[in-house]
C-alpha cells in the first residue's frame, strides 16, 4: 500500500489544485447555503436556527406561486418554439453549400455571441411604445401601439421572442453538427424509393438526430428553468422592484435575488435556491427516465 501510494503521489499532487478549488468554490458554498437555509441570517446579526420555517414561508408566499406559474408557462412555450426554430435553421443552413453555408451559419449564430446587455438594449428599443421600430412599422399600417413590455398579457411572448432570437443560433449549431454526420446513403435510398423532402425529415433526419435533440431539449430545459438575465434587463428591474408590470415577468431566480439583496433575507433566499434546485433535478430526472423507458 505504501509503495503504491509513493508511486502515485505525483499524480495526486497534480490533481490536488483542482480538488482544492472544487472544494472551496463548489462544495463549501453548497454546504454553507444549505446551513443558512435553516437559519434567520442577514449577514449582520448572528444566525438563528429556525428549522423548516424558511422553506414553509417561501412556499406559502404569493411571489413563489406567481414566479413558478410564470416559469411553467415560459418553459412550456419557449422550449418547443426554440427547438423548432433551431431545427428549421439547421436544415436550411445544411441545404447551402460552400461559402453561403458559412455566411448563414455565422449570421444566425451572431445573436448568441452578443452580450446579453446589448441584446436586451436592442430589444427594448424595438419594443419601445412610441419610437420603437416594431410599433413604428405597425403605425404605418394603422395599427395602434402595442405595449410589448408593459401589457401583462403579452409580456411573456415578448420575452420568448427575445429568448429564441438569442439562443436558437446555439441550438442550430449543435443540430447542424448532427445533420452533417448523417450518412448521405440514407437520403439517396429514400430518393430512390420516391420519398419527398418532408418524408426524409420525418423518417430519416429526426430519428437520426434523436440523441442530439434530447441533449438540446434537456439543456434548454435547464437553462429555461434558471431564466433571469433577459427578463431582468428587459423590464429594467432592481432588487426592490422586479418582474415588470403586474410581475408578469417575475421568475424564481429573480424572486430569490430580490429576497436576498433587498431585505438581506439570506435564509429564505437559500431555502428558495434549494427548492428550485430540487425542482430542476426532479424534472430533469423524469426526462431521462422517460427517454430510457422509450428506448427499452
Tell me which residue of 262, 266, 267 sits closest to 239, measured CA to CA: 262
Name the band, by pLDDT with cuts 50, 70 and 90, for residue 5: low
DSSP class of 285: H
The dihedrals phi and psi of 111, each to the nearest 5 degrees, come to: -60, -30
In the structure, what pLDDT confidence band is assigned to residue 109 with cuts at 50, 70 and 90? Answer: confident
Task: Compute the average pLDDT of residues 215-222.
Answer: 88
Three-state secondary-structure class, residue 296: coil
Mean local confidence (pLDDT), 204-217: 89
Q: Using one digit for the tens of pLDDT, what is the confidence trace for 238-256?
A: 777 788 888 899 999 998 9
Q: What angle do CA 95, 223, 289 make, to 5 degrees?
A: 90
Helix ranges restricted to H, the chain: 2-22, 28-36, 53-60, 62-95, 99-113, 116-127, 133-140, 155-180, 184-192, 197-200, 206-208, 210-225, 229-234, 252-262, 266-295
Spatial distance between the Cα atoms of 139 and 161, rounded to a whole number of angstroms: 20
**Mean pLDDT for the chain overall:** 87
The answer to whether residues 226 and 280 touch, using CB atoms and an 8 Å cutoff, is yes
pLDDT 10s digits, 143-174: 888 899 999 999 999 999 999 999 999 999 99
pLDDT band at 237 (very low <50, low <70, confident <90, very high): confident
Give the domain ranges of the chain.
Answer: 2-36, 53-295
Evaluate if residue 82 carries a pLDDT over 90: yes
* CATH code of domain 53-295: 1.10.3720.10
**Measuring CA to CA, which residue among 22, 271, 229 is closest to residue 121?**
229
Is residue 3 scored above 70 in pLDDT? no
The whole-number average pLDDT for the span 198-211 is 88
Task: Confirm if 222 and 238 have CB atoms less than 8 A apart.
Answer: no
pLDDT digits 0-9 by tens, 11-44: 777 878 888 888 888 889 899 989 999 999 887 8
Give me the phi and psi of 39, to 5 degrees please.
Answer: -130, 160
Amino acid at each position: 500500500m505504501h509503495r503504491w501510494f509513493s508511486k502515485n503521489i505525483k499524480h495526486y499532487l497534480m490533481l490536488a489544485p483542482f480538488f482544492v478549488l472544487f472544494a472551496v468554490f463548489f462544495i463549501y458554498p453548497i454546504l454553507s447555503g444549505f446551513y443558512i437555509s435553516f437559519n434567520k441570517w442577514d449577514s449582520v446579526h448572528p444566525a438563528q436556527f429556525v428549522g423548516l420555517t424558511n422553506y414553509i414561508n417561501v412556499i406559502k408566499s404569493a411571489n413563489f406561486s406567481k414566479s413558478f406559474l410564470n416559469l411553467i408557462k415560459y418553459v412550456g412555450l419557449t422550449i418547443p418554439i426554440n427547438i423548432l426554430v433551431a431545427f428549421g435553421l439547421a436544415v436550411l443552413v445544411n441545404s447551402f453549400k460552400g461559402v453561403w453555408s458559412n455566411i448563414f451559419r455565422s449570421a444566425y449564430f451572431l445573436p448568441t455571441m452578443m452580450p446579453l446587455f446589448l441584446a436586451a438594449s436592442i430589444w427594448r428599443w424595438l419594443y419601445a411604445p412610441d419610437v420603437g421600430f416594431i410599433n413604428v412599422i405597425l403605425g404605418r399600417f394603422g395599427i395602434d401601439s402595442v405595449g410589448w413590455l408593459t401589457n401583462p398579457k403579452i409580456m411573456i411572448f415578448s420575452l420568448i421572442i427575445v429568448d429564441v432570437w438569442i439562443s436558437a443560433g446555439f441550438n442550430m449549431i449543435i443540430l447542424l453538427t448532427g445533420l452533417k454526420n448523417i450518412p448521405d446513403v440514407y437520403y439517396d435510398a429514400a430518393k430512390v424509393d420516391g420519398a419527398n423532402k418532408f418524408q426524409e425529415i420525418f423518417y430519416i433526419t429526426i430519428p437520426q438526430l434523436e440523441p442530439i435533440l434530447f441533449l438540446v431539449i434537456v439543456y434548454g430545459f435547464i437553462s429555461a428553468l434558471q431564466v433571469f438575465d433577459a427578463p431582468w434587463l428587459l423590464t429594467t428591474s432592481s432588487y426592490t422592484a422586479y418582474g415588470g408590470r403586474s410581475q408578469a415577468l417575475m421568475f424564481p431566480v429573480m424572486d430569490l435575488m430580490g429576497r436576498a439583496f433587498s431585505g438581506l433575507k439570506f435564509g429564505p433566499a437559500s431555502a428558495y435556491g434549494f427548492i428550485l434546485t430540487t425542482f430542476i433535478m426532479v424534472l430533469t430526472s423524469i426526462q431521462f427516465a422517460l427517454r430510457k423507458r422509450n428506448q427499452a
